């Protein structure tokens, strides 16, 4: 077996912590899994207990196809051994592995609360490695109970979309999302960066759409306002009602071009991040 690539995570986990992203995977990746000859999903870095991998397998089996297989990967061999009583071959298994995916060729990889523990400059390489065999990667972070979450969809090493998701009854203000941004963006939330502008726009819309009819109606009105203002929302009301909002990946601001004759900079080249 190839040596696992990565570092052992803290391992924090809770039942139902990843319910929101699991439901998104069923929605966003369901077609890919239905068409796959072998519908394999990897739960990378499932943590100290295998509960989130078990839940992922159950949710996808119920909503996508019964023969979806899930393999949980952990670098810590103690965690892998502790998970074995929960295995149900060939549909649910646990192995030692990291960003190299233990040599497997999944259709989808879920990596949650993993890259948050790495340096920002390590993220791009991890994305490339996890998608090198063609898998679609859903990578993000959430709070301890899964009430606030954000995630990226990454294909061929490049981020495509950014999703915000919340249990609306607990959402006091969209600024809360800033604490749970994916590692690639959390340090970019500063004035002048697209993610900062996006969070400000969501916050302004939320403040404008105060309503006595409850947080769900306020969230839906917020999403409509953002759409009407011309922001490029990816999904519509059926996802908004779930407390979910997806945008094209906001990218990063490029440095100012040096105007002196004969000078050039990275700003002269296309920005692959959008």
Reported as a single tens digit per residue, the pLDDT across 90-118 is 999 999 999 999 999 999 999 999 999 89
Tokens of 26: 């069923």
- Domain positions in the chain: 19-246
Strands 40-44, 108-112: pairing is parallel
Mean pLDDT of the chain: 90
Cβ-based neighbour number of residue 37 at 10 Å:
6
Closest CA to 95 of 4, 188, 193: 4
Between strands 108-112 and 244-248, the pairing is: unpaired
At 128, the pLDDT band (50, 70, 90 cuts) reads: very high
Asked if 184 and 273 touch (Cβ cutoff 8 Å), the reply is no
Query: Is the Cβ–Cβ distance between 25 and 110 less than 8 Å?
Result: yes
Q: How does pLDDT run across 155-181, given as a tens digit for each residue?
A: 999 999 999 999 999 999 999 999 999
H-run or E-run covering 41: strand 40-44
Q: Are 111 and 137 in contact (CB under 8 A)?
A: yes
Helix axes 215-228, 194-208, angle to 10 degrees: 120
The closest alpha carbon to 86, from 120, 127, 58, belongs to: 58
Q: Whole-angstrom distance between the N-terminal and C-terminal Cα of the chain?
A: 37
The CATH-assigned architecture of domain 19-246 is: 3-Layer(aba) Sandwich (3.40)
d(CA 224, CA 230): 10
pLDDT of residue 269: 30
241 vs 236: CA distance, rounded Å: 9
Q: Is 120 exposed, middle or buried (0-12, 13-18, 19+ CB in 10 A)?
A: middle
The answer on pLDDT for 10 being more than 80 is no
| 116-120-123 Cα angle (round to 5) | 80
- Model confidence at 14: pLDDT above 70: yes
What SS3 state is found at 221? helix
Is the confidence at residue 185, as pLDDT, over 80?
Answer: yes
């Amino acid at each position: 077996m190839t040596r696992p690539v990565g570092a052992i995570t803290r391992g924090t986990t809770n039942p139902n912590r990843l319910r929101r992203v699991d439901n998104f995977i069923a929605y966003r990746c369901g077609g890919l899994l239905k068409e796959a000859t072998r519908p394999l999903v990897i739960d990378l870095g499932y943590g100290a207990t295998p509960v989130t991998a078990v839940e992922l397998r159950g949710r996808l089996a119920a909503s996508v196809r019964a023969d979806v297989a899930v393999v949980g990967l952990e670098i810590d061999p103690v965690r892998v051994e502790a998970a074995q009583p929960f295995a149900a071959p060939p549909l649910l298994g646990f192995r030692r592995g990291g960003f190299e995916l233990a040599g497997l060729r999944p259709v989808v990889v879920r990596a949650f609360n993993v890259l948050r523990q790495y340096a920002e400059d390590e993220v791009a390489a991890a994305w490339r490695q996890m998608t090198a065999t063609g898998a679609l990667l859903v990578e993000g972070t959430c709070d301890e109970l899964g009430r606030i979450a954000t995630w990226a969809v990454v294909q061929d090493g490049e981020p495509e979309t950014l999703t915000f998701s919340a249990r609306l009854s607990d959402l006091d203000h969209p600024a809360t999302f800033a604490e749970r941004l994916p590692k690639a963006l959390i340090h970019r939330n500063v004035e002048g960066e697209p993610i900062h502008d996006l969070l400000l726009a969501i916050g302004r819309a939320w403040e404008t759409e105060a309503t006595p009819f409850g947080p769900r109606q306020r969230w839906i009105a917020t999403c409509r306002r953002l759409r009407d203002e011309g922001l490029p929302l990816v999904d519509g009301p059926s996802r908004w009602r779930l407390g979910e909002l997806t945008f094209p990946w906001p990218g990063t601001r490029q440095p100012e071009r040096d105007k002196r004759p004969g000078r050039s900079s990275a700003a002269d080249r296309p920005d692959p991040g959008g």
